[in-house]
Copies of this chain bind each other. A is one copy, B any other.
Amino acid sequence: MEMQEVIERYQPDLEAVEALLEQQVRSENPQLTEVNESLLRAGGKRIRPLFALMCSRVGSGRPDWLHVLAGAVELIHMATLVHDDVVDDAATRRGKPTVRAQYGNRAAMYAGDFLFGRAIRMLSDIPNRDIHLELSGAIVRMCEGEIEQIQDLFNWRQSLRRYLRRVERKTALLFSVSCSLGAAASRADPQLVRVLRRFGYFTGMAFQITDDVLDFVADEQTVGKPVGGDLRQGNLTLPALHASTEPAVGDELRQRIHPNMSRNDVETSIELVRASSGLPFAKQLARQYMDKAMVQLHRLPAGPLQEDLATVARFVNQRMY
């Protein structure tokens, strides 16, 4: 089963979601529309809407607000991306200039707020309090995760557990919510909703840890941003944190990576992490989360949905662009 086949199966739904997104990002303000349309065109894989659409096949219902739900999840994701770029001082994302780099921090912040506003607008069309609660809860916890990330910048004494909690909030939560809300929208059995929530959660954990690995190994041309970007910002992810447990490497990393580090410190440290046990360790952990996701899938009725979800999960976690 290939990813392309799965996408084709969901093509009409995905196109409907895309049309909704195009409609929602339009503003009376031409510059804002331009910013948002370039964000939309920048691509992104629409994994979250796809998961919502797929999981909605597990039940028998199909509410007329299914596309709205899938679109709202993507808008929330887009809003957080724009704000992350403000915070990260990122100049490129997916190989293209960020909103911040093109239009400045101020416009980027309000573009993000605008997208939040539009997401709330979309939620108005979903007459289901539980869905509102789950999505607003996810936004709140995602923000808490971002603030924790800021607090943990350059903090070499953070625990693995604290790193994993950040990964959960940063990525796993919205994956998880996309899956469970898609399932709930189809009035699936609550047991199946829970299974898919866990599937999304584990897939999201694997996705983000893989992202943190890619940040060290992928080159700028293929991943669309400079190598070692996390370390450059003091964002200590699993490869670096695990590398720092190797006695020799750890001392050097802690000496080099601090708020006043030099460019040379960063370049040397990136090489240190790349040569350490940090990358294989992180890849191994991502694989374990992937395995846990697959265990959940085995609890679904056998059929095409089970296979499709496995295909997409494998795809998002084997990104070696």
Q: Which residues of A contact B (CB under 8 A)?
A: 27-29, 31-32, 80, 83, 86-87, 104-107, 109-114, 116-118, 120-121, 123-125, 127, 129, 132-133, 135-137, 139-140, 142-144, 146-148, 150-151
Contacts and interface: CB of A to CB of B under 8 A. Distances in A.
B114 A86 contact: no
Contacts of A31: 147, 151
A150 B103 CA distance: 10
Given A29-B148, A31-B151, A143 B127 contact: no
Main secondary structure of the interface of A (DSSP, over half): helix
B117 A29 contact: no
A110 B143 contact: yes
A182 to B, nearest CB: 19
B123 A140 contact: no
Contacts of A139: 113, 116-117, 120
B109 A144 contact: no
Contacts of A105: 86-87
Given A83-B113, A144-B27, A150 B120 contact: no
Given A29-B148, A139-B116, A123 B132 contact: yes
A203 to B, nearest CB: 23
Given A113-B143, A124-B133, A124-B136, 4 more contacts: A28-B144, A106-B146, A120-B132, A121-B136
